[in-house]
Amino acid sequence: MASEITYAEVKFKNASPAAVVEVPPETKKHEHHPQKYPSWLPWLISLLLLLLCIALVIALFVVPFSHSSDQPTALQLKFREWWCISAEPQGKERGWVCCPNGWIHFEKSCYYISGDMMPSAESERNCSGMGSYLVVINSEAEQTFLSKKLQQYSKGENYYIGLSAQQVGQWHWVDQTPYNETAAFWREYEPSDTADEQCVVIHKNSGLRDNWNDVKCGKHNRICEAAVVTV
């Protein structure tokens, strides 16, 4: 007798279905388009750069002068353009010394040497109108410095200083500094001490030291002086 063959279907619980491999769709090529900027963007950038430049100017020039003292000096109120040099800081002192453009510097003062002539009273008003005064000479070093500058750059002959006499021989400085005969730099045989010569000038052509001359208070050039501005 022939044997029967029985077929049975066997299922395994842990069997996993056949892995399905997903093929990604073909990557779409990106098209490159030039990026467009709004037309007002360059103007905005220019405006921002301009504002930055203004801020830098204020930081470099306006702010230091605003902090140079509790109250701005008359000289600071009169002039907008300045030149400055570095100074050695001492303690808490500031590190820049400044004078208005067109003025010269010596020690703690700024000087203006005029190119025009005025009578004595007008010369005083001109200096005071710039926040300064007719120069007061306190030392031989200052006298020599100014005399050298006059010989180098000036075209005038006589330059008013802040020394005058209300009465013959009674000399006084415009800022009330006491007159000191030992620190006076008169030309030989000067002063004349006459009633009609009550003003004093530096006579440029008389050398570097002894060149003061008392004169009539007519039209002459002038030297103005003001304290430096420190920042």
Using one digit for the tens of pLDDT, what is the confidence trace for 45-87? 888 888 887 876 665 555 444 444 456 788 988 999 999 998 7
- Could you tell me if residue 87 is inside a domain? yes
Distance CA 157, CA 160 (A): 10
Amino acid, single-letter form, for residue 216: K
**Is 67 domain-assigned?**
no
Query: Rounded to an integer, what distance in angstroms lies between the CA atom of residue 131 and that of residue 225?
Result: 9
Contact 212, 187 (CB under 8 A): yes
Question: Tell me: the pLDDT tens digits for 120-137?
Answer: 999 999 999 999 999 999
- 218: domain range? 72-230
Instruction: Classify residue 149: in a domain, yes or no.
Output: yes
- Is residue 53 one of the residues assigned to a domain? no
DSSP 8-state code for residue 158: E
Confidence (pTM): 0.68
Is residue 88 included in any domain, yes or no?
yes
| Planar angle of CA 149, 153, 155, nearest 5 degrees | 115
115 CB-near residues (< 8 Å, 6+ apart): 154, 155, 156, 221
Is residue 226 assigned to a domain?
A: yes
